[in-house]
Structure 1
Amino acid sequence: MYIKNLKLINFRNYHQLELSLHPKVNIFVGDNAQGKTNILEAIYMTASGKSFRTIKDREIIKMDKQQGYIKIEGEKRYGKVTVEIKLEEEKKKQVKVNGLTSTKRTELLGNVYVVIFSPEDLKLVKEGPAERRRFIDQELSNIKPKYFHHLHQYHKVLMQRNNLLKKIYQNKKYMDTLDIWDEKLAELGARLMFERLSFINRLSMLSKLVHRKITDNRETLELRYQSSIPMKKNDEEMKAFFIEKLKESQEKDVNRGSTTLGPHRDDLGLYVNGIDIRVFGSQGQQRTTALALKLAEIELVKGETGEYPILLLDDVMSELDQKRQQFLIKSLRDIQTFVTTTELNSLETMEFSDKSIFYVENANVKYYAKD
C-alpha cells in the first residue's frame, strides 16, 4: 500500500499542510526541530491511533489551539483507503475510516500498515524486557486487531488482581475472590502467549535470513520467546497450568502486591551464534540485529496481510554505517518509504531510484526535487 496525500491542521508545529506524496521514496531534509518527524508521527497515528512519541494528545495539538486534524488518502491492493483523525483538548480522538466513524481503536487497526525504524529502535536489543514486549505487542496489534483487544482486557484484569492482592495483604478475608481473577487472567494470558509464540517463531525465520545476508553468512540470529511460565501444547493446557502457577505464587504475590507471573513478565531472547547479544553483543551486532528485526517485520506484515507496509525511517541513517545503509536501501524496492535526515548529501549516493525530496524549515515544507 502507499499514501497519496497527507493533510495536517494544527498538528504539532504545523498550522496547515497538504502534501502529494511519491509512491516510492519521500525524503524530508532539514535541521533538527523543524517538523520532519512530525510528518512521520502523523502517518503513524493513522495506522495505530496513537503517537510513537507521547501519550498526551495535548502535546500533539499545535500550541494555543484547541483542535488538530490529520487526513491521509491511500491506495491498497483492493482499493482506496482514507483515514481522518480529529484531536480535541480534553476529549477522545474522533476517527473516521473511509468516511465512517470508528468508535474503537480496533476498528482503526488493520487499515493502514506501518513499520517505523528510529534511533529509539536500536535500544530494542540492549534495553530491558519492557522495550521488547512493547515491540511484540505493537506489531501484533497492528497485524491482528483482536490481539490488541485481548491485550487490553488482560491489562485490565491484571490491574484488578493487583488491587485485590493489596487488599488481601491488609485483610485475608478477600482471599476468596482471588480465584475468579486468576481464572480470567489465565484465560487471556494463554491466548496472548500463544499469539506471541507464533509471531516470534515466524519473525525468527525471517530475521535469520536477513541477518545472514547482512553478515555475509558469518553470523546466525535466533529469537526465543522467554515466557515466565513454560509453554504447553494448547490454550486449555496453558490456562490450567497458568492457574496452577498463580496459586503457587499467591503468597509471594500478596506480599509484593503485584502479579509475578504472566505475559507482562515475558521477554524476547536474541542470540547470535548462540551468544546472548542483549548482554554480550557488540554495538555493531546489536544494530545489525535491530535492522534485521525491522526488515523481517516488513516481510511478516506482507505475509499476514497481503500488503507491504509503509516504512518510516526517522533519522536512522546517521545511526547506521555505510554497509548497513546500503543493505537497507536495497531492501526497499516495493515499499513506500519516508526518510527524515539533516544531511541530504549522505543520501544522494544511495540507490533511491524513484523519489521526491522535501525541504523542511520551521514547519514550511518545500518540494525540492524529483527524479
Structure 2
Amino acid sequence: MYVRSLELKNYRNYERLNLDLNKGLNIFVGENAQGKTNIVESIYYLSSLRSHRTNRDRELIMWGKDKAYIRADVEKMFGKHTMEFLLSSEGKKAVKIDGVKTSKVSDFLGTVNVVIFSPEDLKLVKEGPAIRRRFIDAELNQIRPKYHHAILQYNHILMQRNNLLKSILKSPSLKMTAEVFSEQLAEYGSFITEARYEFVKKLSLISRLIHRKITNGKEELEIIYKSASGENMDRKSIKDELYKYYTENIMEDAEKGYTLKGPHRDDIIIKINGADARIYGSQGQQRTAALSLKLSELEIIKSEVSEYPVLLLDDVLSELDINRQHFLLDALKEIQTVLTCTSLNDINEFHFENKDVFKVTAGKIEKFNAV
C-alpha cells in the first residue's frame, strides 16, 4: 500500500498543500521547525485518527483558524481509497472514506496501515513500561479494530473504579459499588492481555531474526510479555485471575487510591543474550533492539494484511550509526517510505530507483532533484 497524494488545508503551518508521493522513498529535507514532521504526522493520522505528538486535535489546526482538512488518496493491493478528515477547534471531527461519512472508529481503522520510527522510539528499551504498552497498542489498533474498542472500554471502567476507590476509605459502603466493575474489567482486561501476549510472541520471533542480521549473529534478542495475570495466558485463565483480584483486593487498592493490577500495569521485558537490555544493555545495544522491534512491526502487519504498511522515518537517521542506517535503508526497497532529515549528506550514497526529494521551508514545499 502507499499514499499517492496528500492535501492539507490549515494544518499546522500549512495553509494549503497539495503533494504527490511516489511508491518508494520520499525525502523531506529542511531545518528544524519548518514543517517536516507535520507531513509525517498528517500521514500517521490516516492510520490512527490521532497524532503521534498530541492527543488534542486542536493543536493540529493552524493558529487563528477554526478548522483543518486532510485528504489522501491511498492505493492498496485490492483497491483504492480516498480518505478525508475535517478537524474542528471545538474538538469535533468528520471522517469520510470514499465519500461516505463514518462515525465508528472500527470502520475506519485498518484502511491504511502506518509504522512510524522517530527518536522517541529509541526510548522503547530504556524508558518505563508505558511507552512499551503504547507501542503494542498502536499496532494492535491497526490490525485488530476490536482491540481499540476494548482499550477504550477498559480505560473508561478503570477510571470509574479508581475514582470510587478514593472514596471507599471514608465510605466503606461503596465497596459493593466497586464490585460492579469487576466483571467488566476482567472481561475487557482478559481480551487485551491475550491479544498483547499473542502479538508479543510474533514480535519476539521476528525481531530475533532481524536482530541476528543486524549484529551478524553476535546477539540474541528475546521479548517476553510480563503480566500480573499469571503464567496461563489463555483468555479464561486471565479473566478468572483478574476477576479474583478485582473482587478480593478492593480495600488494598483503596489504600493506594488506584487499581494495582491489570493490563494497564503490564510490560514487556527485552533481553539481549539473556540479560535485561534496559538495565544491562549499552546505548548501542538498546538502539539496535529498538530498530529490530520497529522493523518487526513491518513484517507483522504484512503477515496480517498481505502488504507492507507505509513507513515514516522522522529524523531518525541522525540517531543511528552508519551500520544501522545501512541496514534500515536496505530493508525499505518494497516499502513506501517518508523520511525527514536536516541534511542529505547521510543518504546520498544510498541508491533507490524511486526517490523524490522535497525541500521544506516555513510551510512551503519544493520538489527538486538534488540526489
Task: Provide the TM-score with structure 1 as the length reference.
Answer: 0.98
Q: Secondary structure of the equivalent of 2:360?
A: strand
The match for 1:49 is 49
The match for 2:292 is 292
User: Identity rate of aligned residues, in percent?
Assistant: 49
The match for 1:34 is 34
Aligned equivalents of 1:137 and 1:349: distance in 2?
A: 36
1:310·1:335 contact (CA, 8 Å) conserved in 2?
A: yes
- The reply on whether 1:348 has 2:348 as its aligned counterpart is yes
The match for 2:360 is 360
Equivalent pairs, count: 371
1:305-347 deviation digits (Å, cap 9, x = unpaired): 1121000000000000000000001111110000000001211
- TM-superposed CA distance for 1:237, in Å, is 2.5
Aligned equivalents of 1:89 and 1:302: distance in 2?
A: 36
- The reply on whether 1:143 has 2:165 as its aligned counterpart is no
- TM-superposed CA distance for 1:263, in Å, is 0.1
The match for 1:280 is 280
- TM-superposed CA distance for 1:233, in Å, is 5.1
User: Which runs of 5 or more residues in structure 2 are unaligned?
Assistant: none
The match for 2:335 is 335
- TM-superposed CA distance for 1:25, in Å, is 0.6
Aligned equivalents of 1:235 and 1:290: distance in 2?
A: 29
Letter in 2 for 1:68: A
The match for 1:75 is 75
The match for 2:263 is 263
Letter in 2 for 1:281: G
1:359·1:367 contact (CA, 8 Å) conserved in 2?
A: yes
1:158-213 deviation digits (Å, cap 9, x = unpaired): 11111221221210111122222111111111111000000000010000000000
1:260-306 deviation digits (Å, cap 9, x = unpaired): 00000000100000010111110000000000000010000000111
- Shift of the 82–370 alpha-carbon distance from structure 1 to 2, 3 Å rule, reads farther
Aligned equivalents of 2:279 and 2:88: distance in 1?
A: 44
Q: Bigger CA drift: 170-179 or 285-294?
A: 170-179
1:33-83 deviation digits (Å, cap 9, x = unpaired): 111110010000011100011112221111111111011001001000111
Letter in 2 for 1:296: S
Letter in 2 for 1:219: E
The match for 1:320 is 320
Letter in 2 for 1:98: D
2:315·2:341 contact (CA, 8 Å) conserved in 1?
A: yes
Q: Secondary structure of the equivalent of 1:120?
A: helix
Aligned equivalents of 1:48 and 1:197: distance in 2?
A: 22
- Shift of the 202–25 alpha-carbon distance from structure 1 to 2, 3 Å rule, reads same
Letter in 2 for 1:107: D
- Shift of the 329–233 alpha-carbon distance from structure 1 to 2, 3 Å rule, reads closer
Q: Bigger CA drift: 231-240 or 337-346?
A: 231-240
- TM-superposed CA distance for 1:370, in Å, is 7.9
Q: Secondary structure of the equivalent of 1:197?
A: helix
1:28·1:357 contact (CA, 8 Å) conserved in 2?
A: yes
Q: Bigger CA drift: 338-347 or 244-253?
A: 244-253
Q: Secondary structure of the equivalent of 1:259?
A: coil
Aligned equivalents of 1:67 and 1:242: distance in 2?
A: 43
Letter in 1 for 2:339: V
Aligned equivalents of 1:238 and 1:58: distance in 2?
A: 39
Q: Secondary structure of the equivalent of 2:169?
A: helix
- TM-superposed CA distance for 1:250, in Å, is 2.3
Letter in 2 for 1:24: G
Moved beyond 4 Å, runs of 4+: none
1:191-250 deviation digits (Å, cap 9, x = unpaired): 110000000000100000000000000000000000022142532222112112233432
User: Which runs of 5 or more residues in structure 1 are unaligned?
Assistant: none
2:9·2:68 contact (CA, 8 Å) conserved in 1?
A: yes
2:175·2:250 contact (CA, 8 Å) conserved in 1?
A: no
1:329·1:351 contact (CA, 8 Å) conserved in 2?
A: no
Letter in 2 for 1:294: K
